[in-house]
Structures are given as C-alpha cells and as structure tokens.
Chains A and B, each alone.
Chain A
Amino acid sequence: MENRTFNETQSLELITRMIQETRTHMERHAGVPFLVWGYVTVIVTLAVWFALTRTQNPTWNLLWFALPALGMLLTQLTDDRKSKTVVTFIDRIIRHTWLVLGCSAVLVSLLTLFSPLQLPILFIILLLMSIGTILTGAMIRFRLCIASGILGILLSTLCLWVSPLDSCLVFAAAFVVMQIIPGHILNYQSRKQCHV
C-alpha cells in the first residue's frame, strides 16, 4: 500500500475492506481458554465424583476449590494477550463477561460451603457457564457455541433431578459439550484461517 491519494469510491472501498478484515480477524489458538477451563472442570469434577463415591466423605468437596485455582493458573500460563497483535472490543467484552460469571460462580460456591444455605450449586454454576458460552458464541458469531450453551442450560436442569453424585457426571458431560468440543473446533478453524 502506498501513500497516494485516490477517488471517493476507492476511499470508501478501502475503509470497508479494512474494517471487514479486522472484524473477521481470528487469533491463532482462539479456543485455548475454552479447552483450559473445559479440561480442568472435567478432571476436577471426575476426581470429586470418584473420591466421594469411594469414601462417602464430604470433605472431598473441598477439592472443588482446585478448579478456580488450576483454571486461573493455566489461564495465566497460556494467556497470549502479551503477544496479541490486535485487541478488539469483543475481546474485552468477552473477558469481562467471564470475569463477572466466574466471580459469581465462586461466590455461590462459598455461600454453599460456608453458610447454612442449601443451594443447588452445580445447577447454578452450570447455568451461569452456559449463559457465558451462549454470549461468547453470539459475540464471536460461532453457532456451535450458542447451540452447546443451550444444551448446557438443558443439562443444568437435569442436575436438579438426579442425585448429587450423578449431577457431578452431568456437570462434567456438559463441560465436554460446552467447552471442550467447541474449543477444539475453534482452534482448528483459527489454525486454518491463520494459514490462509
């Protein structure tokens, strides 16, 4: 591109093209945050389920706190914000959406563990995460994410009907559908787009 002047039509075409290319720009490894939180959630949930099934000791519920700790640690380690060449408004909105939902999930967990309230915690957290998945899908225009988030909401209601132990399995399955599968597909698509 040169530093030349041009006519009005060319000028509008250039503006449209630049805005369009930036809007459709996708970072490599776009699905990594989904994969990090998806795998960590599934592994921790299955570990809690396994420990509770084997020992019947509710103290193992404290293992849930490994989830935000591990998730945040791995998110920090895989965070590519420092190497990102462009930061869009959507990036910021997505980050803030998940921050609000994540803090709400931690608050609900603390309320359940340290207060007499008996909240259906897995239902509430799954509902919050499904909402986050749908919103993210809508923002990045990724229909699979929206669909998997809707499925997550349906699965969250199942947590209200099955036993607390079985709801762990529903919770893990929902995260496979909502985060792991879309995360891998998103990574595949971003790799493909970055190679073009």
Chain B
Amino acid sequence: MKRLALVLAVVAAASPGCGEGGGEGRLGFELFLAKAVPDRVGFLQVALLTKGKSYSCDQVQRNCLVAQTLTSPLVKLTDQSGKEHSALLFPLELDGGSQDLSVSGIPVGQDFAAVVEALTRDSPPRLYGSYCTYVSQIAAGVNESQTVFAKLSATRPDGGSYEGTDGGFSVDCDPRFEK
C-alpha cells in the first residue's frame, strides 16, 4: 500500500516568554504537513484543556475532542473579533506552502493540554487526525517554544493511531464545537 506521510511536528509552548518580544521568531507550535495532506484537510482546530496532566494524550487523540467526556473545562479562546470559543477553527490556506496561525487571549496559567485536530474537507467534516500535547505553562505574551517535537497521526476508525495514509482514513465524527 502506498503510504503518504502525514507528519505534523509540534513544538509545545511550554517555556515562558516575556512580552511580545519574547518570541524572537520562535513559535509555539510548528506543524509539518506532508505534501498530500492539504488535499484532504480543510481546517485545523485548536483547543486547550485545563488540568492537562489528568488526561492521557494517547486517548484524547483517538476521537473527536467534542465527542469525549472531559474531566476539566476547556480554556475559552478568543478569535480575532474578540468572541470566545471552546476551540478555534482555522481554514487551511497555505500560501507558498506555509501558513501562520495564532491562538491569542489565552489566560496565563499552568497545566494545559493542547489539542490540534485536522478536519477533512468533507461536509460535514470528519476527524482526519489529532495531536495532543501537554503544555506546562502559558505565560504572558508570545510563548516561546520548547523543543519537544511530536507527530500528528491520522486516526484510524478503530481508534488506533496511523502514521501516513492512502487518503482513506478518517474518524466518523464531526470535530467542530460550533456546528
């Protein structure tokens, strides 16, 4: 079976940054997509869970976050218009092979789990893959990256993790919090 790799290398924003200048070009998350992925994925959805340590990221990645019973509240994230949401949805609009997203207005604090879900272009969208990582701290300003990389794998319908896909896999759930 020909496999097309979907690799999202994610840098967890765990180190505190000081003010807007703290980033110095280093980013909270850096995602690498295989060439074939943009054809299949239409949106990335970002959510932050409080009490991140209480979750098993392996489990979280297996299904749509919205379909899971959460033991702690989601952090309310604000969009560009200042409206609060349980998760932010970003259309995948690559310009020259890259795209910058920004999740701002996150209340500073400790012990989060960040979940990035890749949504298919279907209508309604389905979960193509999910990545979850622990974020020990969100500091004020732009958060610098901690050099901890991980992969987002396409999620198998049986709940397992699958690195790379022939394009046929997705989980039968609509990941959106606001439908």
Question: Do A and B interact?
Answer: no
